[in-house]
């Protein structure tokens, strides 16, 4: 017996092998974002060991090419390499969780919209100048300690204070440039104020990711997303998006669609029409479909499970909807992409990520501002972050390092046990990613676009 035949392997704990109804099967490695499709004969051979959790030798009739493909993709791990590889993966997840750093800033909690499903209270106005100065000092100090640094802007409507955004991003981009580290900036905006001139200015200071919401066709959108005076907002948003598409700038717009199950056809009709034809086949625009979930404060107080994963409406197969969008030449999230390290983790679970309110209070979560455990500190006017480490640990301490179930889950790399830290201390349970559910995993695999066998395709991480 040759040495190759005697060698033992382990099936990667980060990999899943899912058979599809067409007779083929999909193998996905969530540690390195590799995904492959296999025909019926290969699928049967892989099924003989893909469920095993102990070292095993491969059958003599397994082809060398199939073995090589599985080893190269990280699905089969030689037994002598398994422990070192496992330590490397755990350390990579821990490092990202502890060393990534960023602030999500609310320059105002006021908004020019009154969306029917919004959970914000609009209580606090524009951040005062002395507070902006203190925040700028905090940003500079954190950049000096960071390996990479990100800013996000949230509201209210952040573009009501575009001058604050331009200042903070411009200074942070310059400071990160001098240090030679990555700087990224993003914004959730209703886009009503995102004029072409302002868009150019934001690009110049490194703000290149925008989340903008369109809730279906004009009639549906204008029923849900209205101005303070109750007027529709569809046409103005589309006008600004069209102007963005006409530029040659490198940016990303996540077009978020908040839908009820009964309105899914209205989402498709939006992208079938000519009004948004400019986003088809433009990879800078990504369609991000979300169920409308009950997120108002009263519902959160009454429900048995709080957080971003709560109250999801049943009945809408998001994967079917995303497949239909893909066939129309549209890029979508959570469909073909396999997230990278902590790519699906909530920022609230990361030790050095905080939300900064207009009054300089520090929070972890944008959903439950009224929960006292969400207020984990503040920034003083001298530019010092005063953090209650006990409360911060409440959000960050339960993860794949401290939870053995999360540490052995196939989603430990993209999730890290941090899908929704809030549920850990409100409902007494951990919030898991959608793909942790066997039914969702099968639905995803059924419609996943994958290369032919032997073509290893690592997907870009984010």
Q: Which domains does the chain have, with CATH numbers?
A: 1-96+405-449 (no CATH), 100-308 (3.20.20.70)
**Residue 333 banded pLDDT, cuts 50, 70, 90:** low
- Mean pLDDT, rounded, for 73-94: 97
* Closest by CA position to 263, among listed 203, 321, 337, 182: 321
Question: What is the pLDDT at residue 75?
Answer: 98
Mean pLDDT of 185-206: 97
How many whole angstroms separate alpha carbon 453 and alpha carbon 85? 24
Name the pLDDT band for 5 (thresholds 50, 70, 90): low
Average pLDDT over residues 218-232: 89
Confidence bin at 299 (pLDDT 50/70/90): very low
Specify the range with the lowest mean pLDDT, choosing from 14-28, 119-133, 239-253, 368-382.
Answer: 119-133
Task: Supply the pLDDT for residue 315.
Answer: 37
- Asked which of 120-134, 188-202, 233-247 is least confident by mean pLDDT, the reply is 120-134
Give the CA dihedral 336, 340, 345, 348, nearest 10 degrees.
-130
Omega before residue 156 within 30° of 0, cis: yes
- pLDDT band for 440, please (50, 70, 90 cuts): confident
More confident of the two residues 362 and 338:
362
pLDDT for 80 beyond 90: yes
Per-residue model confidence (pLDDT) at position 140: 97
Q: Which residues pair with 186 in a beta bridge?
A: 152, 209
Residue-wise DSSP of 114-172: --TT--------PPPHHHHHHHHHHHHHHHHH-SEEEEEE-SS-GGGGHHHHHHHHHHH
Query: Which pLDDT score is estimated for 215?
Result: 82
Q: Average pLDDT over the chain, rounded to whole? A: 87
User: Residue 37: in which H helix or E strand, if any?
Assistant: strand 34-38
> Mean pLDDT over residues 149-158, rounded?
94
461 within 8 A of 32, measured Cβ to Cβ: no
Q: With contact defined as beta carbons under 8 Å apart, do 318 and 334 qualify?
A: yes
Q: What is the pLDDT of residue 302?
A: 33
pLDDT class of 262 with cuts at 50, 70, 90: confident
pLDDT at 273 over 70: yes
Least confident of 83-87, 110-114, 124-128, 289-293: 289-293
pLDDT of residue 297: 33
Tokens read off for 362: 């520090």
pLDDT for res 173: 98
pLDDT at 446 over 90: no
* Model confidence band, residue 278 (pLDDT cutoffs 50, 70, 90): very high
- With bands split at pLDDT 50, 70 and 90, how would you rate the model's confidence at 316? very low
Which range is least confidently modeled, 6-20, 336-350, 377-391, 401-415? 336-350
Name the strand (E) or helix (H) holding 92: helix 79-99
Secondary structure percentages of the chain, helix, strand, coil, to 5: 40, 20, 45
User: If you average pLDDT over residues 37-42, what whole number do you get?
Assistant: 94
């Amino acid at each position: 017996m040759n040495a190759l035949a005697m060698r033992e392997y382990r099936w990667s704990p980060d990999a899943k092998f899912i058979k599809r109804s067409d007779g083929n099967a999909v193998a996905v490695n969530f540690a390195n974002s590799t995904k492959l499709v296999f025909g019926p004969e290969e699928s049967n051979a892989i099924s003989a060991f893909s469920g095993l959790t102990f070292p095993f030798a491969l059958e003599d009739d397994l082809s060398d090419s199939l073995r090589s493909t599985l080893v190269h993709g990280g699905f089969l791990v030689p037994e002598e390499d398994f422990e070192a590889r496992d330590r490397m993966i755990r350390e990579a997840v821990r490092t990202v969780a502890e060393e990534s750093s960023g602030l999500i800033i609310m320059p105002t909690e006021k908004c020019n919209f009154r969306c029917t499903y919004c959970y914000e209270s609009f209580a606090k106005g524009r951040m005062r100048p002395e507070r902006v100065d203190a925040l700028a000092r905090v940003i500079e100090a954190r950049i000096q300690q960071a390996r990479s640094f990100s800013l996000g802007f949230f509201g209210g409507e952040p573009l009501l204070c575009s001058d604050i955004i331009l200042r903070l991003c411009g200074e942070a981009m310059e400071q990160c440039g001098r240090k030679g580290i990555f700087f990224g900036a993003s914004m959730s905006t209703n886009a009503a104020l995102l004029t072409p001139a302002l868009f150019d200015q934001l690009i110049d200071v490194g703000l290149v990711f925008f989340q903008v919401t369109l809730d279906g066709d004009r009639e549906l959108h204008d029923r849900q997303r209205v101005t303070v005076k109750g007027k529709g907002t569809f046409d103005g948003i589309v006008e600004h998006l069209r102007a963005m598409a006409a530029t040659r700038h490198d940016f990303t717009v996540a077009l978020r669609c908040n839908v009820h199950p009964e309105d899914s056809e209205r989402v498709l009709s939006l992208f079938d029409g000519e009004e948004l034809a400019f986003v088809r086949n433009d990879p800078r625009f990504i369609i991000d479909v979300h169920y409308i979930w009950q997120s108002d404060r009263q519902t959160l107080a009454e429900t048995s499970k709080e957080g971003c994963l709560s109250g999801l409406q049943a009945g809408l197969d998001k994967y079917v909807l995303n497949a239909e969008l893909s066939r129309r030449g549209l890029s979508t999230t959570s469909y073909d992409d396999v997230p990278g390290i902590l790519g699906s983790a909530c920022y609230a679970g990361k030790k050095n990520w905080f939300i900064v309110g207009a009054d300089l209070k520090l929070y972890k979560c944008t959903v439950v501002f009224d929960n006292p455990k969400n207020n984990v500190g503040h920034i003083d006017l001298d530019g010092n972050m005063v953090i209650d480490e006990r409360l911060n640990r409440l959000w960050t301490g339960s993860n794949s390092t401290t939870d053995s179930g999360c540490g052995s889950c196939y989603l430990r790399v993209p999730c890290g046990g941090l899908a929704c830290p809030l549920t850990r201390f409100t409902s007494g349970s951990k919030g898991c990613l959608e793909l942790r559910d066997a039914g969702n995993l099968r639905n995803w695999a059924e419609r996943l676009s994958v290369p032919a066998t032997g073509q290893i395709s690592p997907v870009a991480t984010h």
